[in-house]
A and B are shown apart, each in its own frame.
Chain A
Amino acid sequence: MFIQYFFESYMTCSGSISAAPESLHPSLWRASQLARGDTRCIDTGHPALSAQLPGGGWPTGVLVDLLLQQPGIGEMRLLRPALAAVAQRRVVLLQPPHPPQALALAALGVQPSQLIWLRADRTADALWAAEQVLRSGSCGALLFWQNHVRGEHLRRLHLAAQAGETLFFMMRPLAAGQDASPAPLRLALRPQAGGIEIGFVKRRGPQRDATLFLPLTSYLPDHHAPVDRPAPAPVAARSVHTELVH
């Protein structure tokens, strides 16, 4: 309210001055451009995505909402460069949907010595644990899977995240996109062939309705490889070894 009023008065009385709003205050930006937040950002590793995010990367010290169609659609591959960048410090997985596999996470660039897996029996315990991790500020990233969170708990977590520089992702189902959230960045993720489709639910910048397709490194082996594979020829008696013949 105040900003809007300030902005209008600023526009009316000094319409001729072409000072950019961000030069007045770092938290101001035009509605047609992306915000340049003063939070430190970590490069997403995907240039197409970085170009669409305020600050040019995943913001640290804030709540980032990732809305997943279901677990296991490539969300970890999406976060892989960012996780690898912060993996000098601990990466905490809080209530993942299934047991995480250390080998796969090592392949994603997070050493097993940096991984912590937290399980909680009750939602209250999980929220408490998330708050403790964020407040201590000693972890590089916190990934928190929780299906139902109330608004006040989200606000509290967002506030706790601001105490440190932890990369904090909250993984929630797509349906949670309907509810309000204090997160400044909310992305909806859906699987696509060879990559992932990102919808921008909320960001500090212009509304973007079109989704962004992001190709991800595939687990699948190269499809052409089997074609070149030598077909085993029938072995005749007393002949040279088939491999050599081929």
Chain B
Amino acid sequence: MFTPNWSTDAGTDVGTVVLEHERVLVASQTALDAGVRTGMRRGGVLMLLPDARIHARAPLLEADARHAVALALLQYTPQVAQAEESTLLMDVGASLRLFGGILALCRRIHANVRALGFTASLACAPTARGAWLLARANAGRAVRMESLLRRLDRLAVLLAPPARPFAAWFDGIGCHTLGDLRRLPRPGLQRRCGRELLDLLDAAYGLVPELHEWIAPPETFRARLELYDRIDDADLLLAGAQCLLLQLTGWLCARQLAVERLLLQLEHERGRVARAPTGVEIVLAEPTWRDEHLVRLLRERLGRLVLDAPVIGLALEALQVRPMAPPNASLFPEPGGSEEDRMRMLELLAARLGPENVLQPLPLADYRPDQANVWVPVQQKVGDKARNAQLPPDVQSLPRPTWLLARPIALLMRNHRPFYGSSLRMASNPERIEAGWWDGPETRDYFIAEGQDHTLYWVYRERIGSGDEGPKWFLHGLFG
């Protein structure tokens, strides 16, 4: 059974009440403290709490919520079914080993449901109907058949929906628990209460098999979440996005897919002018179906994002998916992690620093050193062959400085020598570079120069266009 987590901000909470047929169905803790009780009318609530927020029950929203939770829980088993009275049934018999036992699985499901913003009462039993009854009574886990029978016998009769029309009769004959019900003669019970009650009882006690209609995950994934408030804080947005990512994880696991490209749309409030939603697109180098990496990427992206209006809704869409690749089956893991780990690290860096700040070299076969030294974002796919084809055949023979200044520094002249910190002495023969007549010609003589403190510099003399005042010297690099 799912009910939303009411906001419990101290001071701001004025009490929230949900009405069904003009009667109170659920109330938040503040409202309960003020004296609101289930079954009250609207007038009574308003008398106790004049500014209470009153909502009518919305079956559509509830169905959406059930669907969202079912989608998220598909990551634990492909067999999830919706049952009566906001209950989800999961067949986890085949998943226990993978997730480390029933207790660990229950903890994970609890955590996921809480992350989605709901509370659930969870029960496990060898039969689906038994688990349903235990969950409705919030009576915990029964792993073995004997303990299930014991627990079921103690449950109230009226938990079973077919028994409810006959509540007065059951009360009259003193039949209060399911154990009492089982002791009644079956033919008489069937005549009075119909076939459904006996069917339910047999299914719960494991006497007849059950059939379920398992939820089929949709072909494409698109989930939407309406936020409760106007939000412009990255952390709160991330919490909302996490709900959607959980659903995405469930969907991917159920369909055995891994996501490559996804789009998170931040929907803004429509004021006088319609605002297009802000899109955050995430492209992954290595497809993934786990949400930890996606959450980390989204955190960095949302942290950098500048919003021009508060957000009222989130929508997540998987734009590109591919079949899930089987995990690397090597016996001894590679030191330093696999290539996927490396790509994940680079993606995370690019998400925070910006793709233009995470660079890899792509040397260009050009004589001009500043044109040859090209760095491109690491996301760009560059083949090793293409890169090596651009390298000079003998890299060792070229005296090139480790650090190339972004723009050359014009050097002062003292005593007809270039001066940088100290007077520079030319320590090598010139290397003449004259190229680029097609774009930005360079005519330079490069020297390795040595300062007084024996630091080596790469300097050049401009040969053409230096004007009347003699040769012009520039510092262009440092030898690391």
List residues of A whose CB falls within 8 A of some B CB. 69-77, 89-90, 96-108, 112-113, 115-121, 125, 128-129, 132-133, 136-140, 164-165, 190-194, 219-221, 226
Q: Are A132 and B348 in contact (CB under 8 A)?
A: yes
Closest 5 CB pairs of A and B: A72-B478, A76-B480, A102-B361, A98-B403, A136-B345
Please state if A71 and B335 are interface contacts (CB–CB under 8 Å). no
Q: Which residues of A contact B382 (CB under 8 A)?
A: 113
Residues in B neighbouring A117, C-beta threshold 8 A = 358-361, 375
Given A74-B480, A117-B361, decide whether A102 and B373 contact each other with a Cβ distance below 8 A. yes
Contact present for A101 and B349 (CB under 8 Å): no
Check if B360 sits within 8 Å of A219, measured CB to CB. Answer: no
Tell whether, in the assembled complex, residue B406 and residue A99 are in contact, meaning their CB atoms are under 8 Å apart.
Answer: yes
Query: Quick check: B448 and A220 within 8 Å, CB to CB?
Result: yes
By the criterion CB–CB under 8 Å, are B455 and A191 in contact? yes
Which single member of A101, A116, A121, A133 contacts B378 (CB below 8 Å)? A116
Q: Are A113 and B373 in contact (CB under 8 A)?
A: no
A126 to chain B minimum Cβ distance, whole angstroms, is: 9
Say yes or no: A105 contacts B402, CB within 8 Å: yes
A89 to B346, CA, bound (A): 14
- Inter-chain contact A74/B479, CB cutoff 8 Å: yes
| Binding-face segment, B3-11, B94-102, B336-344 | B336-344
Which of B174-182, B253-261, B389-397 interfaces with chain A? B389-397
Q: A112 to B378, alpha carbons, bound, how many Å?
A: 12
- Would you give 19 A-B contacts (Cβ < 8 Å), ordered by A? A72-B403, A72-B480, A98-B403, A98-B477, A99-B373, A99-B375, A101-B402, A101-B477, A103-B363, A103-B398, A116-B358, A118-B357, A125-B352, A129-B353, A133-B345, A133-B349, A138-B342, A165-B336, A194-B454
Residues in B whose Cβ lies below 8 Å from that of A115: 360-361
Q: Are B360 and A103 in contact (CB under 8 A)?
A: no
Query: Do A103 and B395 touch across chains, with their CB atoms under 8 A apart?
Result: yes
Does B401 touch A at the CB level, under 8 Å?
A: yes
Which residues of B in the span 166-215 have a Cβ within 8 Å of any Cβ on A?
Answer: none
Judging by beta carbons under 8 Å apart, are A138 and B360 in contact? no
For the A-B complex with A107-B396, A121-B357, A219-B456 known, give 19 more contacts whose Cβ atoms are closer than 8 Å: A69-B453, A71-B403, A72-B480, A74-B479, A74-B480, A98-B406, A101-B403, A112-B363, A113-B384, A116-B360, A118-B349, A120-B353, A121-B353, A128-B352, A136-B341, A139-B336, A165-B336, A191-B454, A194-B454
> Complex formed: what's the CA distance from A165 to B335 in Å?
9
A86 to B448, CA, bound (A): 29
**B231, chain A: closest CB distance, angstroms:** 24
| Cα(A117)–Cα(B56), bound, Å | 57
Q: Taking the complex as formed, is B115 at the interface, i.e. its CB lies under 8 A from any CB of chain A? A: no
A136 partner residues in chain B, CB cutoff 8 A: 337, 341-342, 344-345
Say how far B245's CB is from chain A's closest CB, in angstroms.
20
CA distance A103 to B396 in the complex (A): 9
Closest residue of chain A to B361 (Cβ to Cβ) is A102
Q: Are B373 and A72 in contact (CB-based, < 8 A)?
A: no
Chain A nearest Cβ from B293, distance in angstroms: 11
Contact A104 B359 (CB under 8 A): no
- C-alpha spacing A104/B336, complex, angstroms: 26
**What residues on B are CB-neighbors of A194 within 8 Å?**
454
Residue among B369, B396, B479 with the most chain A CB within 10 A?
B479
What's the Cα separation between A80 and B348 when bound, in Å?
29
Residues of B within 8 A of A105 (CB): 361, 402
